[in-house]
Amino acid sequence: MRIGFDGRLLLRPLRGMAVYINNVFHELISTDSKNEFRMYVDTHFAYNAPPKTYAPVLDAFKKYPNFSIVDINASNAFQWEQICLPKKIREERLDILHMPANRAPFLCPAKKMVVTVHDMIEMIFFKEYFRTLRGLRGRFYDYRVGLYITFMYKKIFPRADMIITDSEHSRHDIHRITGTPLAKIKVSHLAQNAMFKKLDVPREDYLLSFGSVAIHKNCENVLRAFAALPEKLKRTYKLLMIGKTPQLETLAKELGEKNIVFQDADFSPKLVETFNKALGFVFASHYEGFGIPPVEAMACGTPVIASTASSVPEVVGDAALLVNPADPTQIRDAMEKILSSETTRQKLSDAGLKRVQLFSWKKAADIHRELFAQIME
């Protein structure tokens, strides 16, 4: 078979969907000598990382004899997805096109199309993410983007021969919102990068969390929870937020908290040490299709505080303290429990190291391989 996939996100920082694409396709291609793989990219896209950043990522694929990169340049994402990519697919006579990042062409000339829909964030938080710009030009832009996104989810995704998603929770959300039959939606859990593992380093006096402007990440309630801790704990421990945003820094100042520390987002191997040194990791998201960061924390033996919302309980199981993300008091109580009890920390660390063994990119790749074979039968 000739299998093509959208690799555009590999030209950006390797987080979230890009981690999935990178790992699943390395596993697939490295263990498959029968099929031919094409990766479609756009090296001229305005929001790519610098070439020196993404070149090693692409170069790592070039060692496979059954693999090639096809650079398709377009003036914007819509043109790439709906015009340029289908034209190239028609020329190359693909058996399967896999669109692995919540986007797909309406007309697909490949024999079969598989779409990975990681979550329904763009639909569930539609108003928050697509109606925020000001002025006539901003509203017109939001209107166009909103139409495209709605058409994508309601009309294009249900036309796919198969949808892959990250969790049972997302599977049912996709069915509910798009009307796609459950039988056509398959689950393949994600995993953590291999670099995330337990190191022989001492713990330090901080809790770790990730900062983001994304509304569904719920970072504000994490800050409010830390600010509500007893004074003795706040004087002793810090909250380290990886990812600076003006909004979060302003809130920290309003809360009067000097022990909330912000660092620029750094997803290099240094992050593994940061996870390992933390007394706990706080992940209080309102919505996730899967949620890789708690799995990364568990792989490092770091105790996890996790949300009760969406797919997160499905991922962390009983290996985390679960909290209502809308209730800063619950988040605060979980923080206090971890900071005050070595027994609790050890119990969660052990449970997390056991839980993380359920997830691997090899398992995910095996599922993808089986699904590709199924739709071609």
DSSP state of 83: I
Same domain? 187 vs 39: yes
Give me the DSSP letters along 183-243.
GGEEE------TT----S----SEEEEE--S-GGG-HHHHHHHHHTS-HHHHHH-EEEEES
Condensed to tens digits (0 to 9), the pLDDT of residues 198-241 reads: 999 999 999 999 998 888 999 999 999 999 999 999 999 999 99
Same domain? 214 vs 162: no
Q: Is 93 exposed, middle or buried (0-12, 13-18, 19+ CB in 10 A)?
A: exposed
**200 in any annotated domain:** no
Mean pLDDT of the chain: 94
Same domain? 245 vs 166: no
Give me the DSSP letters along 9-70.
GGGS-S-THHHHHHHHHHHHHHT-SSSEEEEEE-TT-TTPPPHHHHHHHHHTTTT-TTEEEE
Nearest Cα residue to 242 out of 272, 221, 215: 272
**353 in any annotated domain:** yes
Nearest Cα residue to 174 out of 232, 262, 115, 226: 115
Number of domains forming the structure of the chain: 2
Same domain? 178 vs 222: no
Same domain? 187 vs 221: no
Query: Does position 25 have pLDDT exceeding 60, yes or no?
Result: yes
Condensed to tens digits (0 to 9), the pLDDT of residues 36-90 reads: 999 999 999 999 999 999 999 999 999 999 999 999 999 999 999 999 999 999 9
Cα distance between residue 156 and residue 61, in whole Å: 29
CB 356 within 8 A of CB 190: no
Cα distance between residue 3 and residue 319, in whole Å: 38
Condensed to tens digits (0 to 9), the pLDDT of residues 77-116 reads: 999 999 999 999 999 999 999 999 999 999 999 999 999 9
- What is the structure's pLDDT at 329? 98
Q: Over pLDDT 90: what percentage of the chain?
A: 88
**Two structure tokens written together for 160:** 């796919």
**Residue 205, Cβ neighbours under 10 Å: how many?**
12
CB 290 within 8 A of CB 170: yes
Same domain? 111 vs 223: no
Condensed to tens digits (0 to 9), the pLDDT of residues 279-300 reads: 999 999 999 999 999 999 999 9
**210 in any annotated domain:** yes
Cα distance between residue 111 and residue 248, in whole Å: 47
- What is the structure's pLDDT at 236? 97
Confidence category of residue 146, pLDDT binned at 50, 70, 90: confident
Query: Does position 123 have pLDDT exceeding 70, yes or no?
Result: yes
> pTM of the predicted model, to two decimals?
0.93
Query: Does position 132 have pLDDT exceeding 90, yes or no?
Result: no
Same domain? 169 vs 256: no
Domain CATH number, residue 13: 3.40.50.2000
- What is the structure's pLDDT at 141? 52
Query: Does position 15 have pLDDT exceeding 70, yes or no?
Result: yes
Same domain? 242 vs 319: yes
The span from the first CA to the last CA of the chain, in angstroms, equals: 12
Same domain? 141 vs 238: no
**348 in any annotated domain:** yes
| Residue 202 backbone phi and psi in degrees, to 5 | -75, 150
The strand pairing partners of 186, in sequence order, are 164
- What is the structure's pLDDT at 131? 56
**196 in any annotated domain:** no
Range with lowest mean pLDDT among 13-22, 97-106, 132-141, 324-333: 132-141
- What is the structure's pLDDT at 136? 47
Tell how strand 36-41 and strand 2-6 pair up.
parallel
Same domain? 159 vs 19: yes
Cα distance between residue 11 and residue 88, in whole Å: 20
**197 in any annotated domain:** no
Same domain? 33 vs 182: yes
Confidence category of residue 126, pLDDT binned at 50, 70, 90: confident
| Residue 206 backbone phi and psi in degrees, to 5 | -155, 150
Same domain? 33 vs 86: yes
Condensed to tens digits (0 to 9), the pLDDT of residues 294-321 reads: 999 999 999 999 999 999 999 999 999 9
Mean pLDDT of 256-281: 92
Query: Does position 135 have pLDDT exceeding 60, yes or no?
Result: no
CB 115 within 8 A of CB 160: yes
CB 3 within 8 A of CB 37: yes
**235 in any annotated domain:** yes
CB 171 within 8 A of CB 165: yes
**198 in any annotated domain:** no
Range of the domain at 218: 206-358
